[in-house]
């Protein structure tokens, strides 16, 4: 009895501590969420108030209509999905080659690919920008999408390669005996068994492209091409230029932009966790 009671008290303490930590970590997020419902004059009140005096759901409508956020969302969705598809498919082919084929210099080439992870992007952004300028792709979506179709990045290749190494090669050999080619094996055997890893990579790619601010800022210059991350700057620029305070609209627009990410994460949470765990089984 004492043991059961002790476990219950221990669990209770653990839950209380976890609840307190959750509140502390979620505090800024919840305060920003409450700010999205406040009137402009409530934002700078000191001491600050957590709950608004009057819930202004109109803020979300104003945030959506005072800037072309429908256009920004459409642009972001098209860019994100196109880049996610390219990154997932191209990384799958490259990782499959590193995991299943033996050729001279394979390990050295793989180490070279992995070494690019330590290369800061600030080192390559200027020559990359000049290259896209020469081909006339500035202020277009091409610099945001096409690089994803050339390997998908070192981390993507590493993630999928580690997962492919956990799959026994006996299945490949059996399929070869039955007359299946390389692409057939990849499409019919390896890819279906790699759904957790592919889902994990797709989620990483989606989050990275959806939240990307740096690259759209560098390559895009017209409002019609803007993504959501650049669109959020609209409210900050207005306030900086001496216009009315719009922090409440900025918070509302930010949470509207965050909603798709939250939905995708919770929908694919199981595949995401499983892919992370299984990708590290075998090095």
Q: What is the pLDDT of residue 78?
A: 94
20 band by pLDDT with thresholds 50, 70 and 90 = confident
Given a cut of 90, is residue 79 above it in pLDDT? Answer: yes
Tokens, residue 57: 């759901």
Contact call for residues 34 and 253 (beta carbons, < 8 A): no
Number of H helices, E strands in the chain: 16, 0
What pLDDT sits at residue 241? 47
For residues 14 and 206, what is the distance between their CA atoms, to the nearest angstrom? 34
Distance set, CA 200 to CA 92, 197, 208 (Å): 12, 5, 12
Q: What is the pLDDT of residue 82?
A: 94
Q: Is the pLDDT of residue 239 over 70?
A: no
State the Cα–Cα distance between residues 96 and 149, nearest whole angstrom. 15
**pLDDT, tens digit, for every residue of 86-110?**
999 999 999 998 988 888 888 899 9
- Give start and end residues of each alpha helix (H) in 182-246: 182-185, 191-193, 195-210, 214-219, 228-231, 233-240
Distances (CA, A) of 158 to 23, 97, 163, 188, 217: 36, 12, 9, 22, 28
SS3 124: helix
Q: Which two tokens stand for residue 10?
A: 């221990």
Decide if pLDDT at 242 tops 60: no
């Amino acid at each position: 009895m004492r043991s059961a009671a002790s476990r219950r008290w221990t669990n209770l303490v653990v839950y209380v501590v976890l609840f307190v930590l959750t509140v502390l970590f979620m505090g800024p997020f919840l305060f920003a969420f409450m700010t999205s419902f406040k009137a402009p004059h409530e934002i700078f009140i000191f001491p600050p108030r957590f709950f608004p005096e009057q819930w202004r759901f109109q803020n979300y409508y104003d945030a959506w209509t005072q800037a072309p956020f429908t256009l920004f969302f459409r642009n972001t969705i098209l860019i994100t999905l196109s880049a996610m598809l390219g990154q997932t498919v191209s990384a799958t082919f490259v990782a499959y080659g590193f995991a299943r084929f033996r050729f001279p210099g394979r390990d050295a080439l793989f180490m070279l690919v992995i070494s690019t992870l330590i290369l800061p992007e600030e080192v390559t952004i200027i020559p990359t920008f000049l290259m896209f300028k020469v081909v006339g792709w500035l202020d277009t979506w091409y610099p945001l999408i096409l690089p994803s179709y050339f390997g998908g990045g070192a981390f993507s290749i590493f993630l999928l390669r580690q997962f492919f190494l956990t799959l026994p090669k006996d299945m490949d050999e059996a399929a070869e005996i039955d007359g299946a080619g390389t692409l057939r094996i990849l499409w019919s055997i390896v890819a279906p068994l790699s759904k957790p890893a592919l889902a994990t990579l797709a989620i990483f790619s989606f989050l990275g492209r959806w939240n990307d601010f740096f690259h759209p800022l560098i390559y895009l210059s017209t409002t019609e091409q803007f993504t959501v991350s650049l669109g959020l700057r609209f409210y900050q620029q207005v306030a900086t230029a001496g216009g009315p305070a719009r922090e409440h609209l900025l918070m509302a627009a930010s949470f509207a932009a965050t909603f798709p990410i939250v939905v995708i994460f919770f929908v694919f949470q199981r595949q995401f966790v499983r892919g992370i765990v299984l990708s590290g089984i075998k090095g």
